[in-house]
Structure 1
Amino acid sequence: MGTTKTALVTGANKGIGYEIAAGLGALGYCVGVGARDRSRRDEAVTRLRDAGVDAFGVPLDVTDDDSVAAAADLVAERVGHLDALVNNAGITGGWAQQPTTVDLDVIRTVVETNVLGVVRVTNAVLPLVRRSPSPRIVNVSSGVGSLTRQSGPDRETTTGPIAVAYSPSKTFLNAVTLQYVRELAGTGILVNCACPGYVATDLNGFRGVRTPAEGAATPIRLATLPDGGPTGGFFEDAGVVPW
């Protein structure tokens, strides 16, 4: 195993994922740019390399078993280990998700990407993560997945629109993350959730108030935690997010 730090970021061709890849690359990481779309993936890799980042493309559809297995093999061949896995890929399924009228297929599709996709990718590359002396797993969640914030007195103004597919998918992701924390206790693998905040990306029609680079700050921090850092937490720039 080489001494170069390595990372895989899913959904890294644009938005927050791209900025996570750029930030880790600026810190000296060799970064795998996971993305489905070939042209966008290649464009992102070119931009990163032009900025001095040691980046390589990873064809990756987190909803497809064969694609994820092939991605794990590619990363193993290319870098041999992973110091950081950042599960960033996610979809909303649209924002008009009233629970009384939602199409159940929308919920299935969102959970397939936002939750099962994280499990699929994590399990596929976990052998590579275990090879790192200081392994980190970061699941990019959202404040709308916080049950405390969703049920608080200011829920109408602080937690965004009703989104019965997206918001619960992030709550589900948070719960799944804690199960990984329990299983991986004592291994040195630090596993945490990151809330990037309300970032202007195509996910929300660019209505967010934060830049993608600002949204990437907490995931980058969690991906580069020192040994002995926190595990099993849910964090944003301001500190701990309530579950």
Structure 2
Amino acid sequence: MATVTSPVILITGANQGLGFAIAEVFSQSKHPYTILVGARDQTRGNEAVSKLLSTKTNEKTTISTIGIDLASSESITSALEKIATNYGRLDILVNNAGIFGAPGKTWNSTTRPDWRTIFEVNVFGAIELVETAFPLLLKSPSPRVIVVTSNMGSISKVANGHVPCGPVGAYYSSSKAAVNAMVANWSQTQKGIKFWATCPGLVATQFGGDFTMHQGREPTEAADIVRKCAEGEKEDVVGHMIWDQDGKSGVYEW
């Protein structure tokens, strides 16, 4: 096991989109990190690492790929075993990987298999990863879990009319509400770890197709809220669902 002094950070879904932007933000922080780019596909993960290495600004930061698929318990276990072997601890877990709808289906497809597909990644995979990582996180002097969520998962906001995608986004919204509930629970029951649910807002990535690409904001700007949680700038809102945009920030009701 290598001796690592810089914080070890695992970012899921980091080979593209917002996850890549989160890795990029950390790679350009004034603080050094050991960044693990979580990716389902090793080749795409390696390509992302190559890009990040060419633009990183902190010479002490290291970046490497780690294979992880939130739809697979075996993949989650394998990834955490590798982290345990190579680093002995996990300081920051960024649970970013997620899907808006069942791959290859229309977003408003509502069959049981389609619901199960999105919940396997956004809910069951996210929960399993976080809870399986607890032993490694508790070996860190300052463990942090940052779950990327959406205000579409705020039951309070939905009840007050916040349904920007209408029925099309119902099962994505429900999946985020479920994982938000777990963040609230962990914050109360896992006192040795700090938790945040972060809403990046609409981001210019392929996550939502042409709409998000053309209407969303700069990915690294959206990603910076995750860095702020990791670097102590959001200590006053630990255990909450938070947002940060246009020079303003706040807390969403669950």
Structure 2 CA distance for aligned equivalents of residues 128 and 79 of structure 1: 10
Match runs of 1:144-183 below 5 Å? 144-153=152-161, 155=162, 159-162=164-167, 163-183=169-189
Q: 1:43 deviation in Å?
A: 0.4
Match in the other structure for 1:77:
85
2: CA distance, partners of 1:173 / 1:199: 20
Contact 2:68 2:79 in 1 (8 A): yes
Q: CA deviation at 1:240?
A: 0.9
Please list the CA deviations of residues 9-52 of structure 1 after superposition, one character each: whole Å capped at 9, or x if unmatched.
00000111011111122221111111101221110111112223
Q: CA RMSD in A?
A: 1.9
- 1:235 is aligned to 242
Confirm whether residue 50 of structure 1 aligns to residue 54 of structure 2. yes
**Once the two structures are superposed, what CA deviation does each residue of 1:169-212 show, in whole Å capped at 9, x if it has no partner?**
00001001111112112x1x111100010112111114232121
Matched residues, percent identical?
33
Q: 1:16 aligns with which of 8, 15, 18?
A: 18
Relative to the length of structure 1, the TM-score reads 0.90
Q: 1:240 to 1:180 in 2, by over 3 A?
A: same
**CA contact 1:6–1:81 (8 Å) conserved in 2:** yes
* Residue in structure 2 matching 1:221, options 222, 228, 231: 228
Pair 227,151 (structure 1): closer, same or farther in 2 beyond 3 Å: closer
Using the alignment, how far apart are the partners of 1:110 and 1:230 within structure 2?
28
Of residues 41, 52, 61, the one that matches 2:69 is 61
Partner of 1:199: 203
Paired residue total: 236
Separation of aligned partners in 1, 2:98 and 2:86: 25
Shift of 1:103: 1.1
Q: 1:36 aligns with which of 40, 48, 67?
A: 40
Q: Structure 2: which 5+ runs fail to align?
A: none
Task: State the Cα distance separating 1:160 from its structure 2 match.
Answer: 2.8
Residue 140 of structure 1, CA deviation: 0.5
- Distance in 1 of aligned mates of 2:150 and 2:86: 31
Residue equivalent to 1:122 = 130
- 2:107, 2:97 → 1: CA distance? 20
Q: Are the counterparts in 1 of residues 200 and 243 from structure 2 also a CA contact under 8 Å?
A: yes
Which contiguous aligned blocks of 4+ residues in structure 1 show a shift greater than 6 angstroms? none
Residue identity in the other structure for 1:242: E
Corresponding residue SS for 2:64 = strand
CA contact (8 A) 1:190 1:232 kept: yes
The aligned amino acid for 2:12 is T
